[in-house]
Amino acid sequence: MLEELRKRVCDLNLKLPKNKLVICTSGNVSGRDRESGYVVIKPSGVKYENLTPDNMVVVDLDGKVIEGSLRPSVDTQTHLYVYRYRQDINGMVHTHSNYATSFAALGQPIPVYLTAIADEFGGPIPVGVYAKIGSEEIGEEIVNSIGKSTAILMKNHGVFTIGPSPEAALKAAIMLEDIAKTVYLALLRGVPDEIPGEEVKRAHRAYMKKYGQG
């Protein structure tokens, strides 16, 4: 069942440690199949080197395991809450990447100090209030606080990114960690000027319309 999506989700999970976004067994990528409504997600507590398409877990939006012999990620309820309330979202990523999570630890949003933030995210990276790990509370806070962004920092926890596909959600997670590192380093030297709001909107529209070969 959902062999293609299981392979995609597995391959994307394997890119988390390759991009230094996670360590040990933390973090996860999920993807939603639009036709069936089922979600494919990484199993809980399995080392990345042992992940295969066959041990990805298929669940429905209520969390019932449809296929798979392993328990799904402890963050499954968070992912499912977001999928239920955001019909435009078909991919989601959770990481504890160092630089972005340092802002989450402090409960600090990341202002639009860089054109890369304007281009990719269209505004500041918001922060959600602390919520219990492994619960729908995190999903509810993501839905309530992420706005039009594709990324959110959950206070005292880590990073969640969303997208129209799991690939897009992973790109957002990689981009977020990169800009968080640059902003962190810049703040060691001073306080950058924020890009004005109207220019942020213009840059984001242009990026979404013109970037790439489409």
Q: What is the pLDDT of residues 11-61, one digit of tens each?
A: 999 999 999 999 999 999 999 999 999 999 999 999 999 999 999 999 999
How many of the other CB atoms lie within 10 Å of CB of 204? 20
At 211, the pLDDT band (50, 70, 90 cuts) reads: low
Residue 60 sits in a domain whose CATH number is: 3.40.225.10
How many of the other CB atoms lie within 10 Å of CB of 36? 13
Calpha distance 127→61 (Å, rounded): 25
Calpha distance 60→62 (Å, rounded): 5
Instruction: Check pLDDT > 60 for residue 214.
Output: no
**Boundaries of domain holding 91:** 3-210
Instruction: Check pLDDT > 80 for residue 66.
Output: yes
Per-residue pLDDT, averaged over 109-129, amounts to 98
Per-residue pLDDT, averaged over 187-202, amounts to 98
Q: Please calculate the CA angle 105-111-112 and round it to the nearest 5 degrees.
A: 145
Residue bearing the bigger pLDDT, 135 or 138 = 138
pLDDT digits (tens, 9 = 90+) for 139-185: 999 999 999 999 999 999 999 999 999 999 999 999 999 999 999 99
pLDDT given at position 135: 83
Q: Say if CB 27 and CB 40 are below 8 A apart.
A: no
pLDDT given at position 213: 39
pLDDT given at position 212: 54
The number of domains in the chain is: 1
